[in-house]
Each structure stands twice: as C-alpha cells, then as structure tokens.
Structure 1
Amino acid sequence: MTTIHRRRPASEGGYTCGDETSARIIEAALNLFGERGYEGASTRDIAELAGVNAPALNYYFKNKEGVYSACTEYMVERIWDYLAPTIEAAQALLGTRPDTEQLIDTFCAIQSKIAEFMLVSNRTNSWRKFYAREQAGLGPSAGEEMISQRIGQRIIGVTSGIISRLMGPDASDEECILRSMTLTGQLLPFHLTRTSSLKSLGWDALTPERYAMLMGIVREQTVTLLRGLARE
C-alpha cells in the first residue's frame, strides 16, 4: 500500500512522531476539504487545525495537492480494508455454481456491509462531505480516479456479476451495471445528504432502531427486485 507520510534518514533530522503527525494533518485536511472544498481549504488552515506549523505539512506532503492525495489514499485504504472480505467472498462464490438464493443473499451481504461502514461507523463522519465532493467531481481528478478504480469498480464488478448470473446470458453488461448501481444507490441519501434525509423523516439521528428499519426496507426491496430478475 502507498505510504501516507515521508521519512528522512536520521542524518537529515526530521520529526520523531511522523506517523502521528501525518495522521493529524490528514484528519484535519479531511474535515476542511469536506467543509470548504479543495480551493477553499488553505494549507495554513489545515496546519492550524492539525496543531502543527506550516513547514510540517510541506515536509510530509510537499503541497496542498499532496495533502489531498494522501487524504484520498487514507480513506480508500480504510474503506477497502473494511469491505474486502465480503467482496472477495462474493467473487469466490461467482466462481462456483450458486443458486438464486445464494446470489441474492450475497448481494444483500455486500449491501449490508457498505451500509455498516457508511452509516454506522463513526470513522466516516469526517469523510462524508469529502467523499460527496469527490463523487460530484469537485476535487482534483486523481482523487476521483483513485476512488473509482480501487473501490467503485471493484464493487460494481461483483454486484453486476451477481445480477448477470441471475438474469442469464441475454442481459447486457450495461443493464447489469445500471441495475446494480440503482440497487446499491438506495443507501446514498443517508450517506451523502444525511442531514436533509433525516429532516424529511423528522428524525434527529439515525438510531439503531431506525437503522434497522431502513435496512429492513432496503433488503425487502432488493430481494423482491432480484427475485423478479432471476431466470426460472
């Protein structure tokens, strides 16, 4: 994996707590890039929020684009670490001869794992706006490409593969991808526009009970649609 900080030989001097310092800078940058966007967040403000001086930021990341790239890398690595076992199990299943219910259960397992990370994990709180800006194409293009290649395409590859297996050889790749995107997209309002989604429901928070209600509805809709697509 790509390292998110630079080290210098002892002869060059440098910071003794590099991992901790670079992590603080990244967490601060994730918040400010999310709140203000790439153009609106200055390296001076990022350094101040992280509790370091501006030269420390340049030492680890060279410039603002380097900080942004490190933020994206940091987020992508942690998302994939969380999702990888479920995605890889689904890929393995597709290498066998699963029946309809196995395919549907596997699709729902992926959906559930994504929901856990996006909606339940506290670690995503500082990332939500950053991720939303990336998905809207409001950051440097390299960040969007990294997320697409290392997260989005992997998820779409396996979920559209499940739908293709359910529908049979007559279904086009394009149709399977579209159906996969619309099914997994049921969760996005509560991730990318959580405040307005909760307000529409008159909720002040997504409590465990409300989360269970949401996921029950999502699973019911997903199972119904996937069974409808399955060949006899």
Structure 2
Amino acid sequence: MSETKRLRRSTESGYARGEETRLRIIEAAIDLFGERGFVAASTREIAARAGVNAPALQYYFENKEGVYRACAEHLASEVWVKFEPVVRSGLETLDTTDDVARLIEAFVAIQDVMIDKAMTTPSAPTLKLFFVREQGGQEPPIATEIFQQRVRGPLNRVALALVAKICGTTPDDPRTILRLLTLHGQFMSFHTAPRSVMTLLGWSTMDAAKIDLVKQTIFANTRSLLQLWSVERETAAPVRQSRATHGKEKAAASRRKG
C-alpha cells in the first residue's frame, strides 16, 4: 500500500472521528442548555457529559458562546431539511399561478409539515426546554437570530405571501399576519401543551389514525377560512372600485364648481 493511500485513510478517519466528537458535544450541550439554561450550564459539565476533556471543547468551539451557536445551527439545519421542499414548492406556486385553489393547497402543504413537526417528531424534554428558553428571551439572542434567518423567516415569508395573495392583502398587513397566526394556532397547542390537549380529547396515545384525524380537521378549517377570505376579497373589490370612482367624480365636480 502506498504512503499516499495510508495518509488519505488516516486523514479521512480522523475527520470522521472529529465530526463524531463535535456532534457528541453539541448533543450534550443541547441537553444541558435545556436543563439549566445558558448561564448555569458550564463548559466543564458539557465536556463531561460528552465524554471529552475541556480542551477538546475549546478546540472545536473556542468558548461557551461558540457551543451555543453550534447548537442553534445544528437544530436549524435539522429542521430546515423538513421545511425546505414545501417552502420551495410554495414559492414556485406563488410565481406561476393566481389560482386560489392551488394557492390554498400550497399553504395546506406547509401546515402538513408543521403539524408533523409539532406532533410526530420525537424529542427529549431537554430539547423542548432549549426552545422554550430561547423563545422566552432567557438565552443569548444568537439562537433566535439563527432560527429566524434559516428557518422561521423563510417559512413565514412564503406562508404570509400565500395568505396575502389569497386574501388580496399584502404580507405586511396586520390582517394577513393575524390570519396566519389564527391558522397556525389550530395545532400549536399540540406542541406547547400536549398533555392538556390529550386529556381534553381523552387520548392516552397519539397514533397514526388520530394524527390523521387532527390533520384533516385542521385542513378543512384552513381551506374554509382561506376560501371565505378569498370571497370577501372578491366581494370587496367592486365596493372599493365604486368608492374610488365616486371619489374621483366628486373631486372633478368640485374642481368644475371652483
């Protein structure tokens, strides 16, 4: 075996071990940041839980802030894998059609993935706590900035654009934003308060049939509301046009009198 081949194998093997160690540190850090928060979790504890020494943590991340950033980037990458296809599909639909039915289905497709993420993705309690602390503003803002830039921002932009196009509003119109929150609020309790929801429903487990029931109920509500808002837009358009015409006629008459 040549010296070149031996060197390549050694380098590749070392890189793989390095990535494995790095991921182990990130996973341990997510647990500890979730359990104790950024301030209380120490780099020494993170290193111990990951089974590495403190210098190894400094080698990969420099300091605790670097570890926290890496945790946010890792989680954002995992989530974006699920959302990227429907975001791209939604953007394509916005660019290629004005058909309300197709726009509504593009929005429902986004909700489908969001519901799966909220209801079917297994996650440790510490991972949920990581997000709870981040959303509560208790942690460094870098995680929120990363999630906003890489996941929440792109997802919200396409969802708002779809709702706006269906309703005849603009994405930054408060009505558009409130309507989006209303539509997504249908399933957020399954993510934020699953025990209360399950108790109310009298369910002890969440199997595929129950998840499908939840989805179909929410999708029916979403389609009905979006269709209603679309009809309201069509109904309001002639009224707005009539008011605009009347205003112009009134202004012209006023100028003639003057």
What TM-score does the superposition give when structure 1 sets the normalisation length? 0.84
Distance 1:62 1:173, change over 3 A: same
Distance 1:216 1:169, change over 3 A: closer
The higher radius of gyration belongs to 2
For residues 197 and 41 of structure 1, the distance between their equivalents in structure 2, rounded to whole angstroms, comes to 32
For residues 200 and 36 of structure 2, the distance between their equivalents in structure 1, rounded to whole angstroms, comes to 25
Distance 1:140 1:207, change over 3 A: same
Indicate the residue corresponding to 1:6 in structure 2: none
Instruction: Give the letter for the 2:187 counterpart.
Output: L
Which secondary structure does the structure 1 equivalent of 2:96 belong to?
coil
Indicate the residue corresponding to 1:225 in structure 2: 225
Indicate the residue corresponding to 2:118 in structure 1: 118
Which secondary structure does the structure 2 equivalent of 1:230 belong to?
helix
For residues 108 and 124 of structure 2, the distance between their equivalents in structure 1, rounded to whole angstroms, comes to 21
Distance 1:17 1:88, change over 3 A: same
Report the CA distance between 1:90 and its aligned residue: 0.4
Indicate the residue corresponding to 2:31 in structure 1: 31
Q: Is the 8 A contact 1:34 1:127 kept in 2?
A: yes
Seq. identity, %: 38
Structure 2 unaligned segments of length 5 or more: list them.
Answer: 1-9, 235-258
Higher mean alpha-carbon deviation, 156-165 vs 171-180, is at 171-180
Name the structure with the higher helix share.
Answer: 2
- After TM superposition, list the pairs within 5 Å mapping 1:87-106 onto structure 2: 87-106=87-106
Report the CA distance between 1:199 and its aligned residue: 4.1
Indicate the residue corresponding to 2:216 in structure 1: 216
Structure 1 unaligned segments of length 5 or more: list them.
Answer: 1-9
- After TM superposition, list the pairs within 5 Å mapping 1:6-85 onto structure 2: 17-85=17-85
Q: Is the 8 A contact 1:128 1:191 kept in 2?
A: no
For residues 153 and 218 of structure 1, the distance between their equivalents in structure 2, rounded to whole angstroms, comes to 23
Q: Is the 8 A contact 1:117 1:124 kept in 2?
A: no
How many aligned residue pairs are there?
A: 220
Instruction: Give the letter for the 1:161 counterpart.
Output: A
Report the CA distance between 1:172 and its aligned residue: 5.9
Distance 1:226 1:131, change over 3 A: same
Q: Is the 8 A contact 1:128 1:192 kept in 2?
A: no
Q: Is the 8 A contact 2:47 2:54 kept in 1?
A: yes
Distance 1:111 1:73, change over 3 A: same
Report the CA distance between 1:42 and its aligned residue: 2.0
For residues 105 and 171 of structure 1, the distance between their equivalents in structure 2, rounded to whole angstroms, comes to 18
Q: Is the 8 A contact 1:129 1:192 kept in 2?
A: no
For residues 198 and 129 of structure 2, the distance between their equivalents in structure 1, rounded to whole angstroms, comes to 16
Is 1:138 aligned to residue 149 of structure 2?
Answer: no
Which secondary structure does the structure 2 equivalent of 1:127 belong to?
helix
For residues 193 and 169 of structure 2, the distance between their equivalents in structure 1, rounded to whole angstroms, comes to 37
Distance 1:170 1:113, change over 3 A: closer
Indicate the residue corresponding to 1:158 in structure 2: 158
Report the CA distance between 1:102 and its aligned residue: 0.9
Which secondary structure does the structure 2 equivalent of 1:73 belong to?
helix
For the aligned residue pairs, the C-alpha RMSD in angstroms reads 2.4
Indicate the residue corresponding to 1:5 in structure 2: none
Instruction: Give the letter for the 1:128 counterpart.
Output: K
Report the CA distance between 1:23 and its aligned residue: 0.4
